Amino acid sequence: MNAAARLGLFGLGLVAVFGVAAAASGAIAPDGIATEWTASQKDSAMQDHSTAATEAPAPSAHDGHGGPARAGELGGLSLSAQGLTLDTVTAPTAAGEPGELSFRILDGHGEPVTEYEREHDKDLHLIVVRSDGAEFRHVHPEMDAAGVWSIDWSWREAGSYRVFADFTASGAEAVTLSRSVQVSGAFAPVDPQPARHARVAGYDVHLRGDLAVGAASELTVEIAKNGAPVTALEPYLGAFGHLVALRQGDLGYAHVHPEGDAPRAGDTSGPDVSFAASVPTAGRYLLYFDFQVEGAVHSVPFVVDTTDAAQGDDSDDHQH
């Protein structure tokens, strides 16, 4: 699969290549375990910062998952595309109930897909997020010989969840499919507010830049710990950082990765990494970053309004 086919597009002529910096949070997990946006993380990531740019870099070897979107849409808004279908998702039905989350990917004949092209060290990336943007997880289930993907699972909180399967079936283009899962229990929805700064788990993470509608814009993530720049970002899933972007409201999806060549074992990066993005519509976008330092995977959310661009770069310099 060439780089162009792996580019995640934010529709309406969108070309988004995210050179992801790392981000940080209190969520620390080994490979295959959820990295989550917990309530404490949501409370700690709450300041704005923005600056404008206009040029986007060319697509690279780390273009995003999800394949090209048609004009005017993001990915992950359908359970079926390109002749592939995300079959019924089986999971625990109540918060706190232990069990297993499982599903199949079916081809156009209703048969399970069992051959995939590995991308970023995995055959399939599974993203699970509550409809309000909370309780985010990025995990990697295992597939059995019958084509059933599964992973041990329990829900931290009740609510309506979207399950995104991000993969490339052998001989096909990259695609992201999704289904909704309902989890019973007391549900207290949240309303994520603009958040460009987080101070969690000893990391101070700041996002600069604007998210422009229909035009490329540059964003930069700055990472420090105990007042010192972090320069020890490690390769995780074949990249120095991963970004999932969801449009608030319909959770339109894009999963993208740093531009440039894939890092080698032993390579490190940081503290600043820039990426370029464009979005198809005005509104609020939920950005989730994963990165690894000293073998530990961290995740942190940012919340960005496209209307913030007019505020300029001085909106929260006094807070950084």
4 or 267: whose pLDDT is higher?
Answer: 267
Do 315 and 198 belong together in one domain?
A: yes
Lowest mean pLDDT among 5-9, 225-229, 302-306: 5-9
**Residue 74 falls within a domain, yes or no?**
no
Q: Does 275 lie in the same domain as 239?
A: yes
Lowest-confidence segment of 42-56, 58-72, 183-197, 250-264 by average pLDDT: 42-56
Q: What is the mean pLDDT of residues 269-291?
A: 82
The answer to whether residues 198 and 315 belong to one domain is yes
Q: What is the mean pLDDT of the chain?
A: 76
**Is the same domain home to 65 and 205?**
yes
Q: Which of 183, 205, 224 is the last residue of a domain?
A: 183
Q: Please tell me what DSSP assigns to residue 79.
A: S
Question: What does the pLDDT look like over 109-132, one tens digit per residue?
Answer: 999 999 999 988 999 999 999 999
- Domain match, 311 and 203 both: yes
**Is residue 29 scored above 80 in pLDDT?**
no
Q: Does the pLDDT of residue 3 top 50, yes or no? A: no
**Which DSSP helix (H) or strand (E) runs through 293?**
strand 284-293
Strand partners, 287: 245, 302
Kindly give, in sequence order, each residue whose CB lies less than 8 Å from that of residue 178, ignoring residues fewer than 6 positions away.
76, 77, 78, 79, 86, 162, 163, 164, 165, 251, 253
Last residue of a domain, one of 139, 156, 183: 183
Identify the domain containing residue 251 by its residue range.
4-69+191-319
Calpha distance 312→309 (Å, rounded): 6
pLDDT-based confidence at residue 43 (cuts at 50, 70, 90): very low
- Residue 265 domain flag: yes
pLDDT bucket at 299, cuts 50 / 70 / 90: confident
Residues 212 and 294 in one domain: yes
Number of domains in the chain: 2
In this structure, are 205 and 276 located in the same domain?
yes
CA–CA distance from 251 to each of 133, 136, 254, 286, 287 (Å)? Answer: 8, 12, 9, 9, 11
